[in-house]
Amino acid sequence: MKAFEYFEPKTVAEATKHLSDYGETARILAGGVDLIPRMRKEEFKADCVVNIQRIPGLDRIDYNGSIGLQFGAMATLHALETSRQVRKGYPAFYQAVRQIASVQAKYMGTAVGNLCVGTPASDVATALYALGAVLSISGPEGDRTEAIDQFCTDYRCTSLRRGEVVAGVSVPPMKAGEGCAFANLVRSRADIAKLTVAVSITAEKDVCRDVRIAIGSAAPTVFRASKAEDALMGRALKAQTIDEAAEIASGETRPITDLRSTAEYRKEMTRVLVRRALEKALAAAKG
Amino acid sequence: MKKEIVGFSINGQLRDVIITPNMTLAEFLREQLDLTGAKKGCEVGECGSCTVLVDGKPVLSCSTLAIAVRDKAILTIEGLAQGGQLHPLQQAFIDHGAIQCGFCTPGTILTAKATLDENPKPTREDVKEALGGNLCRCTGYVKIIDAVMAAAETMRQGGVK
């Protein structure tokens, strides 16, 4: 690995300062699962590594009924998986983390790090899109928040500006009548998914009052199938309505063909997974 | 880039070592300390053969900077046997034929140790889940799972078989 300057800031403000000084060639080290192998392969220039592991409080995971779930940039996937609040409160997020095969990656890796990689093949990001997560971002110009679907801008690109760091994520509490579900297709448990779907739906007497349909590995970023969501809003949630929405969602994908699947297969399976996830979320919503 | 002399706790011994920030824990253990139990397999965090325990938790040493864990307790396979007595997991791997080429074995045993320390009475399914990040191309896993289950039993009965 090429040489770099190395910092271990004790505060987010200090991290921000180092990141500002070095700009695009500065890299944030959280879990290191993605960063270190890519640095060794010299996939990008890294003149400076800012290790945020020792900033107190960044590993927090808190829940309260009015704000929902909040976790910091150093909350590991393992800590989130073993959090009772995550398991009970956000089944789609819990399942997205739980089904990751590598125990080591879960002990080291963080959910925020996973989001910042900006890959469309993130199960964690797909679940957090469906749950309406909001990111807290700190930077030289102060703090800001951003909805997760605004954060991922293109393949491996995020909206982070020079000097900025994602300090944490908040996930709103599940509403009465809301259910969520996660589904993906994988070649083997150890591989990344060929397609991922997560949904959240709020139903009142079988009428859809709110819905989020998130799809991973079928476009340059994880995305919300907004036309499919529009097709469900305010409608009675009959089997035919759900089938139609799933068909629309399939049409919203822009998949590629790669070693894991053909584009055509991903498109077809989007229809199947969206339908199944909606049915499962609806069953959960009914309790 | 600075070189630093750092006191590292490895296998229960404090050692003063010289490290530079761009050294992975795997490189540091293998090339500076001649602790070659942790393997450089895929070197992208997929195979688990580089696994060591950091403060008791299984960590991919190929994807960890040595400097980032300088004040933590590092356990490698070389430090697992105590006073010439193999750890129950090591003995069980031998007894059950869970080692063939042996390349994945150090990482697999250390991941299994972390698992049994957290859950002394796992089901076979628990063991399969726990070893999801350790690839073995020889055994087909059945003997590894047999060995971990047997070691768990030995450890529950007081450690040494």
CATH code, B39? 3.10.20.30
Q: What is the largest CA-CA distance in chain A?
A: 61
Residues B57 and B94 both lie in one domain: no
Q: Looking at per-residue confidence, does B58 or A101 come out higher?
A: B58
In a domain, B161, yes or no: no
* Structure-token pair, residue B58: 């299984």
Which of A124, A154, A171 represents a domain boundary (last residue)? A171
Given pLDDT bands bounded at 50, 70 and 90, which one contains residue A19?
very high
Nearest by Cα to A261 from A214, A191, A198: A191
Residues A183 and A280 both lie in one domain: yes
Residue from B23, B54, B63, B141 whose CB has the most chain A CBs within 10 Å, to mutate: B63
| CATH assignment of the domain containing A246 | 3.30.390.50
Nearest by Cα to B157 from B109, B96, B88, B81: B88
| CATH assignment of the domain containing A148 | 3.30.465.10
Which of B42, B60, B79 represents a domain boundary (last residue)? B79
Which of A133, A156, A171 represents a domain boundary (last residue)? A171
In a domain, A56, yes or no: no
Kindly tell me if the per-residue pLDDT of A34 is higher than 90: yes
Residues A275 and A194 both lie in one domain: yes
Q: Which pLDDT score is estimated for B4?
A: 78
Residues B70 and B97 both lie in one domain: no
B59-80 burial string, b = 16+ CB within 10 Å, else e?
bbbbbbbbbbbbeeebbbbbbb
Which of B79, B107, B122 represents a domain boundary (last residue)? B79
Task: State whether residue A205 sits within 8 Å of chain B by CB.
Answer: no
Cα dihedral A203, A206, A212, A213 sign: positive
The ipTM of this complex is 0.95
Contacts of A75 by beta carbon, 8 Å cutoff, 6+ apart: A58, A59, A60, A61, A110, A111, A112, A168
Q: Are A270 and A197 in contact (CB under 8 A)?
A: yes
Q: From CA A192, how far away is CA A122, in angstroms rounded? A: 8
Query: In Å, what is the CA distance from A84 to each residue of A81, A94, A169, A176, B13?
Result: 8, 10, 17, 19, 37
Residues A265 and A213 both lie in one domain: yes
- For B47, phi then psi, to 5°, come to -100, -25
Q: From CA A225, how far away is CA A243, in angstroms rounded? A: 14
Q: What is the total count of domains within chain A?
A: 3
Per DSSP (E only), the strands in chain A are 5-7, 26-29, 48-51, 61-64, 68-72, 134-139, 142-147, 152-154, 157-158, 165-171, 178-185, 195-204, 207-216, 223-224
Residues B73 and B98 both lie in one domain: no
Task: State whether residue A4 sits within 8 Å of chain B by CB.
Answer: yes
Using an 8 Å CB-CB cutoff, list chain A residues near B21: 3-6, 49
Residues A191 and A262 both lie in one domain: yes
Residues B10 and B73 both lie in one domain: yes
Domain range spanning residue A195? Answer: 178-285
Residues B71 and B124 both lie in one domain: no
Using an 8 Å CB-CB cutoff, list chain B residues near A41: 44
Residues A239 and A188 both lie in one domain: yes
Residue from A8, A18, A102 whose CB has the most chain B CBs within 10 Å, to mutate: A102
Residues A220 and A252 both lie in one domain: yes
Q: From CA A200, how far away is CA A187, in angstroms rounded? A: 25
Kindly tell me if the per-residue pLDDT of A187 is higher than 80: yes
One-letter amino acid at A93 equals F
Per DSSP (E only), the strands in A129-177 are 134-139, 142-147, 152-154, 157-158, 165-171
Q: What is the total count of domains within chain B?
A: 2
Residues A155 and A194 both lie in one domain: no
Q: What is the mean pLDDT of residues A52-74?
A: 97
In a domain, A44, yes or no: yes
In a domain, A117, yes or no: yes
Residues A105 and A141 both lie in one domain: yes
Given pLDDT bands bounded at 50, 70 and 90, which one contains residue A51?
very high
Residues B50 and B102 both lie in one domain: no
DSSP assignment letter at B65: B
Q: Are A54 and A32 in contact (CB under 8 A)?
A: no
| CATH assignment of the domain containing A24 | 3.30.43.10
Closest residue on chain A to B23 (Cα): A1
Q: From CA A168, how far away is CA A173, in angstroms rounded? A: 16
* Structure-token pair, residue B18: 């010289």
Residues B73 and B107 both lie in one domain: no
Which of A135, A154, A171 represents a domain boundary (last residue)? A171
- For B71, phi then psi, to 5°, come to -110, 20
Residues B60 and B112 both lie in one domain: no
Using an 8 Å CB-CB cutoff, list chain B residues near A110: none
Q: From CA A99, how far away is CA A105, in angstroms rounded? A: 12
Residues A144 and A190 both lie in one domain: no
In a domain, A182, yes or no: yes
Domain range spanning residue B99? Answer: 88-156
Which residues of chain B fall below pLDDT 50?
Answer: 161
Residues B31 and B65 both lie in one domain: yes
Residues B67 and B103 both lie in one domain: no
Residues A134 and A184 both lie in one domain: no
In a domain, A101, yes or no: yes
B10-35 pLDDT per residue, tens: 999 999 999 999 999 999 999 999 99
C-alpha torsion A70→A76→A82→A88, nearest 10: 30
Residues A209 and A269 both lie in one domain: yes
Average pLDDT, chain A: 96
A219-270 pLDDT per residue, tens: 999 999 999 999 999 999 999 999 999 999 999 999 999 999 999 999 999 9
DSSP assignment letter at B60: E
Residues B70 and B99 both lie in one domain: no
A80-97 pLDDT per residue, tens: 999 999 999 999 999 999
In a domain, B107, yes or no: yes
In a domain, A258, yes or no: yes
Kindly tell me if the per-residue pLDDT of A60 is higher than 90: yes
Q: Which pLDDT score is estimated for B3?
A: 78
Of A6, A37, A107, which is closest to B67 when you measure between CB atoms? Answer: A6
Q: Which pLDDT score is estimated for A222?
A: 97
